[in-house]
Structure 1
């Protein structure tokens, strides 16, 4: 009986040794395969390029819309200042003016950079002021001919930066 256990134990140990050797050989083969496949495949590169193109197609229009809104905000700020100055002018003189020079004489100040980028016009005068417009000049990075309008009756802006841009 002891002989049986001893022979069984010897076979069991030899099988364990073979398993360990096989496992070691398997690791060597796997590491060799990994070394052969260390780069990117063409399909992987194409997938990354497609994903980047999709993201760019979404992000670029959003960015341009953001920049357009920022440029229009400059004109809106100046138009708001012109409207407030014209209200003060009305309180002092009893009528609105269509002249920016009259408003400047009454105390309106606008930044020179804003005046370089935008040309302002006041539509109406006297008792009936209808709108104030800003038209971009050639100095503005967005190009000339863009118009931002402020309707006095509705107190709303329209035109460039509001989705209904009409370039003249």
Structure 2
């Protein structure tokens, strides 16, 4: 009499453990890479906002022969123009002098940003001066 082999379908415990270990290793590598991408995204948003302010300041300079004293004097920028995912209008500052020098800064605070990203930019600071020198702290 012949006996038939039973087909057993499924995975062994060892195979499942190997897959779980591989997934854990991939997650351990991917998570730090993703957090670095978020920091770069914050920095890019700050630099884009500073670029918007700089463009408006140059228009102001062409019209008034000097830079404005503060961001509030740049009436071309509304309070919503600089609101982004990580920074808000109040996080940006413009300091100009009559000698046509300026500093534009973006500093993250606990109330910066919106949704799940609110407050994630605390401690970040990006500045630009009239010589085109960027200072990035992120």
Would you call these one fold, judging by a TM-score over 0.5?
yes
Q: Does 1:135 align with 2:107?
A: yes
Distance, in Å, in 1 between the alignment partners of 2:58 and 2:38 is 31
- Does structure 2 retain, via aligned residues, the 8 Å contact 1:123–1:131? yes
The 2-side partners of 1:59 and 1:152 are apart by 39
Is the Cα contact below 8 Å between 2:67 and 2:102 reproduced in 1?
A: no
**Structure 2 unaligned runs (5+)?**
none
Is residue 71–residue 95 contact of structure 2 (8 Å, CA) maintained in 1?
no
Unaligned runs of 5+ in 1: 1-20, 160-164
1:130 and 1:55 map into 2 onto residues whose CA distance is: 46
- 8 Å CA contact 1:96–1:126 kept in 2: the answer is yes
Q: Is 1:78 aligned to 2:49, yes or no? A: yes
How far the C-alpha of 1:135 sits from its partner, in A, is 0.7
Aligned length: 129
Give the equivalent residue in structure 1 for 2:98: 126
1:149 touches 1:157 (CA, 8 Å); kept in 2?
A: yes
Q: 3-state DSSP class of the match of 1:144?
A: coil
Distance 2:89 2:27 in 1: 29
Which structure has more relative contact order (CA 8 Å, sep 6+)? It is: 2
Shift of 1:128: 4.4
Instruction: State the 1:119 CA deviation.
Output: 1.1
Q: Distance in 2 between matches of 1:150 and 1:50?
A: 46
Greater share of residues in helix: 1
Query: Could you report, residue by residue, the CA deviation over 1:78-100 in whole angstroms, capped at 9, with x for unpaired residues?
Result: 21111111111111222222301
Distance 1:98 1:60 in 2: 43
> So what's the TM-score if we normalise by structure 2?
0.73
